[in-house]
Structures are given as C-alpha cells and as structure tokens.
Structure 1
C-alpha cells in the first residue's frame, strides 16, 4: 500500500485577500482531488506569509483526519476551527478535478511494434506507491490454448504533475532491449479505453522484493550480483547512452534465475543531453555498495551535489554484523576499485546504439466551452490543452476516464474476500 507520508500531495492553492484560504490536494490512494477551504474567523494580513503558508498545514491535517470517511462524491470540505467540524460539498462548482489530455499512441513514434493494453483490462492487486500499481491482465490466447495472466507494475499519470517525466521514462524503457539479462523488461503501453490516449505503461513484475526490501540481512549478497550491476551500468552508459541517475538498492531485484536486474528509469537521462554529473552512475554504484555492506544510509540524506565519493572510498568499510555476504568485504572493494580505474580510461562516445526519441509533442486539441456575454455556454471549440477540467467535460457531455477508486483499506477487504 502507499506510504501514508506520500499519499497526499498539495497541487495548488487559492489564498484570497482576507480569506477564505483553499488548498487543492491530490489523494494518490483514491486517485481523486479534494479541495480544503479554511474559513479563518480572523483574516490573515496579506503580508503575513508565514501564517498564510501555515494554512496549508492546517488544511492538510484536517484532510488527513477525514479523508477515509468522505463520500466518493465529495469534492471540497470547509472548516473554520482547526479542531472543529467540517462541512462538505458535492457541487460541480467546487470541483477542481483535472485530468491529463493524453496524447494518442502514434505520438510515441516508437519505430517497432509495441504491445498496447487498455486500462479497463487490468485488475489492481496492490498500490506500490504514488502512480504505481501492481496489476494483472489476461494474456492473449494462442493456438496452444489460453495464455497465462500477466502480472506487471503499472506506472501512470492521471494529473499533469510528473507527466513529462513518465512520458520520457516510457520512451526510454520501451527502447531498451527486452532480452537484456540485467534489465527488467518493458511490457506494454497502456491506453485510456474511453478517449484512446496514452496514460502510462507496464513493466514485467519480478517477485521477491528489491534489495532494499530483502537486504543482505535476509539473503546473502553475492559478489556475482555486484559484478552484474557493474556490467549493466556499463551497458546503459556506453552502449545505450543512458545515465540511470538513481542507482540504489530499492531499484534492484533478483529474478528467478538468480540474476540481478535494474529498473525504474524515472530519473534517467540521455548522456548526450540533460545529464546531471552530480547523479553520475559511478557515484550511485559506490554509495549503493557501501549501504548494502554497512547498512549506513546517512548519505541518502545528503544532496547529490554534496556527496563526496573520494572521501568515502578512503574510509575503511566495516560490514554490519547482521549483513550476510558470499565473499569478504575486501573482495567487493577490489572489484569496485578495479572497475573505477577501468572507467577512468573510457569516455562517453556517441555510437549508433545510443537511444534517441522525440520530445513530448504539443498537447492535443480538446473541446472547450464558448461562453456568451451572460456567462452561459453558447457552443464549443477545439483548443490545445494539457489538462481537462472534469466539470467542463460533464458540462459538455464529453466522455472521460474516471480514475477514482476505493480507499486502500476497502481494497484489502475486497482482496480478502
């Protein structure tokens, strides 16, 4: 289930002079937007920025308290005392829900066939994090009989925040070889079954947990796994021109054949452009091995630009007593040091196998209301737009994909039964 600390996200706010003060929150668990309006008994001066900012925390605390008790059609809550009661609204006038105006699959420009599946063909099994679900869907029957169901991780966007990054990740991951022994395979592009646009993608799900979830206190960490990590990082950097930029135990899994595989390209970038040297994969490898051996994660709290790999390499690494290894620490360090020395002799040289893809195109056209002088809708016209207001879609009788779902505690009850 989604970590409660990451469940709610503040997208925007509307702080009127003298009040009321409204904040719009996205609930990643229920995939819904709820606006919270604080009607302060005493107006806050416009110049008192600290108190104005504090209204966000007040609204967030109020929503956290009531979020699982709200009816599914509630779009806004109001309160005037931090510990007082709330009132609710289901009016479309109070609905600030926006959905992404998604591109059609042709805009991906992937130069080879890619499997596509519809959103409504998937069954949710778990919520792995904001905008990431564990799902299953029926396989395609063959001449030999029915195909087994596919279990996959579904990464998606239903709000525009993060949409560009996930579109970029889709483009990158889809172009990586699916038969690479140390990369989790891309699976399919997911389409909105109502409007036909691209809303996300799936990658093959590998059970057993990440190296973060089942660390070396649970299963011994193997020297061969570390060597496989170095190999796939070299392939990404030199063969495909990709810097992963988020090497960490949480992004590494061990498959059923005991091979290490890397996934999650959310922060990845082409080395030829947009590459952040502070997130260099060599730094990621160094800190990842150090954390696996020592269980010391203090450096994860340090900004990337301030992480000093040279100083860390000069230290004597002490294995944590609970960590299990199939080789001595000095053997891991020798493999690492040899790799770092070898990397010094290589340079990033663009070759024909480096991955390329187009930027995200301009947003597609969507119907927009045309208003008369009296404020009434007199017709519609097609305009480009990144997002679609739900209340406008309803007003125009336009179809839309309803992203909302029951709260996770209700999902647990359904799965149990």
Structure 2
C-alpha cells in the first residue's frame, strides 16, 4: 500500500484548489514562506480529506487551526488532464497489446502513479480465462508524459524474451477517447532486492553475475544506459533469475545520458548496499557520489545480510567486470534502440472569450493540457480519474471478492517499495 507521505502527492498536476486567506501577503520571491504556506495547506487537506465528499473541488480557510469552507462549484474546479496521444502516434514498428482503463482492477497502490492491477486474460483451451496481474504506470499530468514517453518507447522495444529484463506487457488506453494514458509491465511476485529481502533470503553470486550481464546487454547491445541501477529495481522471478525494471531515468547512450548516473557506478553502489545495507551514499547528489573512493574501502557485510558466497568472491567478480569494461567502447550498432520524439500537442477545441469575459465561441488550438471545467462547458467527453482513497481500497476489493487475491499479490511488493523514493 502506498505510504501516507505519498498519499496526497500529485506532482505538478492540478487536482484541488486551496485558498489560504492569510492576512499578511507573501512576496512572490519569498520561497521560504511559500514552502511554509504549502505545508499549511497540505496539513489542512490531510486533516479533512477523509471527511470530504467526492464532489468537493476546493477548500478555503484563514486560520490553520480553524474551520474550512468547501466548494463543489465547477467554477472552482482546477482539475487538468494531459491531452494524451493516439496509439498510432507511438510509431511502434510491431503490434502491441492494448488494454482499456476500465478493464483494469486495481489491487494495490504501490507508489505515486504506479498501481498493481489485474485484467481478464486470454481464454485457455478449456474456455477458462486466467486473470493477468501487471504493474500499471500512468500519468495524469502533462510533464509526466515527458518522462514516461521515453520509458514506454524504450521498454516496449526491448525483447520480451530477455531472461533478465522484466517484460513490457501492454499499452493502456482511456475508455472514453482511446488515448494512451500509460502502460503495464509484467508483475513478478516475491519482492525486490531492496533492504528487507537482503535479510530474508541469501543474495546469490549468480544473481550479481546476471546483473552484470544484463547491464552489458543494455549498454552495448541496445545502446541504453539504465541510469537507476539499484536493489529496488531488481526482482527475482519464479525461475530464480534476476530481472531488471524501472527505466524511467534511462536514456540512449551518446544522446541524452547523465554521466553522473553511469551504470558502472550504479552497479558498484548497488552491490555495496546489498552487502552492507549502507545507503548513505545515495543520500547525496549523484555528482558527489564517488564510486572509485568506495572501491578503496573494505566492505563489511551487515550481520543480518545473507550471502551464498563470501564478500571477496562478489568483489572479485565485480573487479574483473570493471577491468573488462575498460577495454570496451560504445559502438553504435543496428541493434541500438531508436524511437521518435514526443509529438507536438494535439488540436483540441478551446473556449474563446470576449473582452467582457464572456464565451464568444470555440477554436481548434494545440493544447498540451485540458481543463475539466472547460471540457464540461464544451460538452466534450473526459475520463474521470477519481477512485477510492487508498485506505478504502481494501473494502472495495472485499466487496468484489478480491481481497485475498490482493493480499497474496501485494505483501512482498509493499515491503520492498514502501521506501522506493528514498535513494532517488
């Protein structure tokens, strides 16, 4: 289940209107006071959110400890939607499975904009459809599209049969306009190699060797720098093979990579963290993280960590890999992945206003963001993103008879992702 600190996270998306009637105006350039004001607003929302009806769109208050007034008026509705693209605009060179949003059943809320879902699978020879579990990654804000566009493009183009990459699953379309709102990847139960699992099951030397192999494949065969190698992005499948996922920071080599997030560096820190459970190096900016300095230190295994080989055996494999990498260069090949840039915003009808503020008509304009209150005025269809609060999700699943299924699927998942943003 998503942590309470992320429950109200919305990135830069507008989903609610706050009016804090402070008697003392805050200067536009006073960042400290602006941050303090935002904390007051969030505290008010946290205090009242469970008592608000689902149609409330705005809160007004003047005293942080005083009463609030609410609004359900569409004039106060600040909700925006990204003007998402058509599936054809992805320009994928092969067919890809698509799923409608209303065909997904939410089983758990893993992290901001990441859910565990299920959907009806393909019927077997006996006529029985087995539900498919998947991880659904989506965006409800426009700048989220910028970040998820390359991840979708990259992941969809990686081979589905690679033994050490979590397979891409499907593109998710909204069920109103048929636009791309996200994608799913295969769900692999059992949790990641993040802290909790390092003390439960022995970390195998073979898994580390598989990590080195898949990193080499990504870098040299596919021309991709993962740029977020970490235990939280590594899972072990049912065949006891390590698989990597989480390509939201990835980029094409010699195109848009950050040298401070180099995969060589990521591998070093990841092994160090698995062995020592020491993550303090991840708490500083990437530019200040020195993998070379870390290699000079003796790594002491945390007493709670289980390994199937001695620490020096892991270091021996790492050192050999690092030396071998010094002799290899990145040479562009036909197998290197390429994908198109995100297209310009699509045309959408927009309201045209006169000098007196009244609506005088409509006009087709490129629009990256759509405001819900304007869509309603235009009579345009839109998809409702509203859903049960995270703490009420279990009750919803219970009514649907899916509570046990969700419990089995999410126990290990939530253990390993509840601190997923700690080392970004």
State if a TM-score over 0.5 links the two structures.
yes
Secondary structure of 2:110's partner?
strand
Instruction: Find the counterpart in structure 2 of residue 16 from structure 1.
Output: none
Query: Equivalent of 1:411, from 381, 389, 393?
Result: 393
Instruction: Find the counterpart in structure 2 of residue 377 from structure 1.
Output: 359
Whether the 8 Å CA contact 2:97–2:170 is kept in 1: the answer is yes
Query: Equivalent of 1:169, from 107, 127, 151?
Result: 151
Secondary structure of 1:152's partner?
strand
Distance 1:361 1:301, change over 3 A: same
Given the two structures, how large is their TM-score scaled by the length of structure 1? 0.92
Distance 1:380 1:253, change over 3 A: same
Secondary structure of 1:199's partner?
strand
Whether the 8 Å CA contact 2:225–2:263 is kept in 1: the answer is yes
- Structure 1: runs of 5+ lacking an equivalent: 13-24, 27-32
Report the Cα offset of residue 370 of structure 1: 2.1
Secondary structure of 1:161's partner?
helix
**Bigger shift: residues 368-377 or 235-244:** 368-377
Cα deviation per residue 1:304-330 (whole Å; 9 max; x = unaligned)? 111111111010111111111110000
Distance 1:391 1:146, change over 3 A: same
Whether the 8 Å CA contact 1:36–1:63 is kept in 2: the answer is no
Instruction: Tell me how far apart the structure 1 counterparts of residues 307 and 126 of structure 2 sit (CA, whole Å).
Output: 44
Query: Equivalent of 1:326, from 296, 303, 308?
Result: 308
Matched, 1:252 2:234: yes
Report the Cα offset of residue 376 of structure 1: 2.8
Whether the 8 Å CA contact 1:233–1:281 is kept in 2: the answer is yes
Instruction: Find the counterpart in structure 2 of residue 19 from structure 1.
Output: none
Secondary structure of 1:215's partner?
helix
Instruction: Tell me how far apart the structure 2 counterparts of residues 373 and 294 of structure 1 sit (CA, whole Å).
Output: 66
- Structure 2: runs of 5+ lacking an equivalent: 400-424
Distance 1:342 1:203, change over 3 A: same
Cα deviation per residue 1:164-200 (whole Å; 9 max; x = unaligned)? 1111100000000000000000000111110111000
Instruction: Tell me how far apart the structure 2 counterparts of residues 316 and 213 of structure 1 sit (CA, whole Å).
Output: 20
Report the Cα offset of residue 284 of structure 1: 0.5
Give the number of the structure whose residues are more often helix, by fraction: 2
Alignment of 1:124-273 (within 5 A): 124-141=106-123, 144-212=126-194, 214-273=196-255
Distance 1:265 1:45, change over 3 A: closer
Matched, 1:6 2:6: yes
Alignment of 1:279-318 (within 5 A): 279-318=261-300
Give the number of the structure whose residues are more often strand, by fraction: 1
Distance 1:407 1:47, change over 3 A: closer
Cα deviation per residue 1:45-64 (whole Å; 9 max; x = unaligned)? 66755434422221121112
**Bigger shift: residues 180-189 or 36-45:** 36-45
Distance 1:10 1:349, change over 3 A: same
Whether the 8 Å CA contact 2:191–2:197 is kept in 1: the answer is no
Report the Cα offset of residue 145 of structure 1: 2.4
Cα deviation per residue 1:107-132 (whole Å; 9 max; x = unaligned)? 00000111111111111000011110
Instruction: Tell me how far apart the structure 1 counterparts of residues 72 and 272 of structure 2 sit (CA, whole Å).
Output: 52
Distance 1:86 1:229, change over 3 A: same
Secondary structure of 1:8's partner?
coil
Say what the alpha-carbon RMSD is for the aligned residues: 1.6
Cα deviation per residue 1:122-172 (whole Å; 9 max; x = unaligned)? 110000111101000011335552331110000000111321111110000
Given the two structures, how large is their TM-score scaled by the length of structure 2? 0.91
Distance 1:155 1:47, change over 3 A: closer
Q: How many matched pairs?
A: 399
